[in-house]
Chains A and B, each alone.
Chain A
Amino acid sequence: NAGVMQNPRHLVRRRGQEARLRCSPMKGHSHVYWYRQLPEEGLKFMVYLQKENIIDESGMPKERFSAEFPKEGPSILRIQQVVRGDSAAYFCASSPPGQGGPNEQFFGPGTRLTVL
């Protein structure tokens, strides 16, 4: 069973371009989470999605950031008009359907975004 897959592993963009980060959850997992890790900091929650639904986006910046998890295909985190402050590692995690409490989240290797 393959783990959580993220691509690309490294992404370089110039200011003003768009960044698209992809995440394929583990087989059988219907819950996807995106986190951002700034240098020397812990992970900050961004958004929690289930298939075709955004469950919690309380950690998403109000502008330029969006996420989706379509019925078919990977989850996408999209950052429009990137700025230097968006440079960070973006981690995706997945978990199986809940059974009354938070489940372990399985993390992908991350996408390291560098904005020039």
Chain B
Amino acid sequence: AQSVTQLGSHVSVSEGALVLLRCNYSSSVPPYLFWYVQYPNQGLQLLLKYTSAATLVKGINGFEAEFKKSETSFHLTKPSAHMSDAAEYFCAVSEANTGNQFYFGTGTSLTVIP
């Protein structure tokens, strides 16, 4: 069965510092992986997705993530944090044979310190 683990429910970084949000997954077949961002009282917005093409995926707002099969990881990074990056971030996994169902991690709340 698929599952997602996001280490660190709360992450704080200084403005301009590197952002690293961790995501590990389990999947019995090659997965499809997604990062979503949620701002307060809003729905989820897709940041980026991995669908078995290039292992380094670039998304919106300067975020990127690297798929590492050997580590079953899909960590999200951004070189320089901006105040507007403060939000909740969710990693999700899906498989082609599960009817498109997404399994979400419990989320990481990112705080950016001025």
Of A6, A55, A101, A102, which contacts B102 at CB under 8 A? A102
Question: Per-residue 0/1 for A1-32: is the Cβ within 8 Å of any B Cβ (1 yes, 0 no)?
Answer: 00010100000000000000000000000010
- A41 touching B49 by the CB < 8 A rule? no
Asked if residues A56 and B46 are in contact (CB atoms below 8 Å), the reply is no
Whether A42 is near chain B, meaning CB under 8 Å from some CB there, is yes
Q: Does B45 contact A (CB under 8 A)?
A: yes
Q: How far is the CB of A20 from chain B (nearest CB, A)?
A: 19
Q: Which residues of B line the A interface, CB within 8 A? A: 4, 6, 9, 32, 34, 36, 41-46, 49, 51-52, 90, 94-96, 98-107
What count of chain A residues pass the 8 Å CB interface test?
Answer: 32
Residues of chain A in range 26-60 having any CB-CB distance to chain B below 8 Å: 31, 33, 35, 40-45, 48, 55-56, 58-59
**In contact, B94 and A102 (Cβ under 8 angstroms):** yes
Contact assessment for B104 and A105 in the assembled complex, using a CB-CB cutoff below 8 Å: no
Distance in Å: Cβ of B3 to nearest Cβ of chain A: 11
**Is A91 in contact with B44, judged by CB distance below 8 angstroms?**
yes
Contact A48 B43 (CB under 8 A): no
Q: Are B104 and A109 in contact (CB under 8 A)?
A: no
> Are A43 and B90 also in contact (CB < 8 A) when A91-B43, A102-B32, A107-B44 are?
yes
For B36, the chain A residues whose CB sits under 8 A away are 107
Q: Determine if A55 and B99 form an interchain contact, defined as CB atoms under 8 angstroms apart.
A: yes
Closest-CB distance, B90 to chain A (whole angstroms)? 6
In whole angstroms, how far apart are the Cα atoms of A56 and B102 in the complex? 12
Q: How far is the CA of A41 from the CA of B96 in the complex (A)?
A: 25
Nearest-Cβ distance from residue A77 to partner chain B, whole angstroms: 15
**8 closest pairs, A vs B, by CB?**
A102-B94, A107-B43, A42-B104, A107-B44, A42-B106, A43-B104, A101-B96, A109-B43
Which residues in B have their C-beta under 8 angstroms from that of A55?
99
Whether A45 contacts B103 by the Cβ 8 Å rule is yes
How far is it, in angstroms, between the C-alpha of A112 and the C-alpha of B50 when the chains are bound? Answer: 30
A9→B99 CA distance, assembly (Å): 28
**Can you identify 29 A-B contacts, CB atoms within 8 angstroms?**
A33-B101, A33-B102, A35-B102, A42-B4, A42-B6, A42-B107, A44-B104, A45-B101, A45-B104, A48-B100, A56-B98, A56-B101, A58-B101, A59-B101, A101-B51, A101-B52, A101-B96, A102-B51, A102-B95, A102-B100, A102-B102, A104-B34, A105-B100, A105-B102, A107-B43, A107-B44, A109-B42, A110-B42, A110-B43
